[in-house]
Amino acid sequence: MAGLTPDLWAIGHSTQATAAVLQQDGTILADRPDSPSLVALRDWLTAWEDAGRPAPETYTPALARGADGRHPRLTR
């Protein structure tokens, strides 16, 4: 989650070199048109659309252990 302006929050994907976010107003911003983070964000949006746009409260958040640390995960 990122606060790009005082009244506008965004969720997104980032790496050490790339970033892409979806703002509350529906605007998608990325560091460049071919950003790997933009690809990941679009994949997430497609999966959400394919699932019928479930509401946030239908998900359970968790941290999963990985070889390189912990990763946030949502499950239904």
pLDDT at 44: 92
Q: Would you say residue 3 has pLDDT above 90?
A: no
pLDDT, tens digit, for every residue of 4-57? Answer: 777 778 899 999 999 999 998 889 999 999 999 999 999 999 999 999 999 988
* Residues of the domain holding 53: 2-75
What does pTM read for this prediction?
Answer: 0.75
- Looking up tokens 């790496």, which residue turns up? 15
pLDDT at 2: 77
Confidence of residue 62 (pLDDT cuts 50, 70, 90): very high
Name the phi and psi angles at 30, rounded to 5: -145, 160
Name which of 38, 34, 32, 33 is nearest 13 in CA terms.
38
| Number of structural domains found in the chain | 1
